Structure 1
């Protein structure tokens, strides 16, 4: 039940970022600040995941796989990455207990669907077309999710040993 509530909460945050974009960006800051105030120990993972994601998307922009209105990564996407980082922190126990292939395939499929939804909503453009872009998103996210699984497993085991 907790996982469902967290996922619904993250999806609402995704909607706020992707549909609202720059117009609703200001609403994302209190959400992130409240989360940080309630769960300050989640900050290191959230920062790490968000920096990794921002780097990945910056590479996608650099190689013209993603295109945004202003030609650079929008602030709403950076905020979304921070929200995803906090979400990942809460997912650690679940991720650690799932088979790595499930995490990779589930995460990669969800990511490709998320980027495709953003494309359909006009938040991002795919200059090289849907198939190539979404294939690369799927592949890169499968690797990202493998890393998140490894990190989550390591963190959960280190807390069990204490």
Structure 2
């Protein structure tokens, strides 16, 4: 097991990336990329991890892009009605937790759905209170809208992670 796979390193690393991204925006992007590169370099299965991080990150960013285009989110640095680059990198960093600090939730899909709903929706409220995003429908309505989104999205990301792992193993053994 590489050191970036250890529960506390992975969990605390993601929290540092979240706070840096929310508070510094695009300014944090290069630091996040450097941490992701370090994560891959120190991972025992960097190719599988990269597949999961890229695929899950793109899925998550696509969901946020849809919500932004739909008018749920407005970002201060909005360009072409898409979320800022720091959010894409934040999604990559979050995806680096799916096989590591959040992997225990794979066995508990209902719990993953409930925790994903509450924690996922809450992060947008926190980000809005810190000025990283504006919620067009206010805190409560956005929270209620994001609950079912994250109740479905988080378990789907865990399933995607499993499928990508299985696919990689079956093609490389």
TM-score after normalising by structure 1:
0.86
1:53 matched to 2:63? The reply is no
Q: 1:110-148, CA deviations, whole angstroms, 9 ceiling, x for partnerless residues?
A: 111111110000000001111221112111111012213
Length, aligned pairs only:
158
| 1:32 corresponds to which of 21, 30, 36 | 36
1:79, distance to aligned residue in structure 2 (A): 0.7
1:89, distance to aligned residue in structure 2 (A): 2.3
Q: CA separation in 2, counterparts of 1:22 and 1:64? A: 21
Q: Could you tell me which residue of structure 2 aligns to residue 65 of structure 1?
A: 72
1:26, distance to aligned residue in structure 2 (A): 2.1
Superposed, which structure 2 residues align to 1:99-110 within 5 Å? 99-110=108-119
RMSD: 2.2
1:90 matched to 2:100? The reply is yes
SS in structure 2 of the partner of residue 90 of structure 1? coil
| 1:122 corresponds to which of 127, 131, 136 | 131
1:156, distance to aligned residue in structure 2 (A): 7.5
Which structure's residues are more often helix, by fraction?
Answer: 1
Q: Could you tell me which residue of structure 1 aligns to residue 3 of structure 2?
A: none
Q: CA separation in 1, counterparts of 2:20 and 2:110? A: 30
1:32, distance to aligned residue in structure 2 (A): 1.0
Q: CA separation in 1, counterparts of 2:105 and 2:159? A: 9
Q: Could you tell me which residue of structure 2 aligns to residue 7 of structure 1?
A: 11
Q: CA separation in 2, counterparts of 1:52 and 1:157? A: 19
1:22, distance to aligned residue in structure 2 (A): 1.9
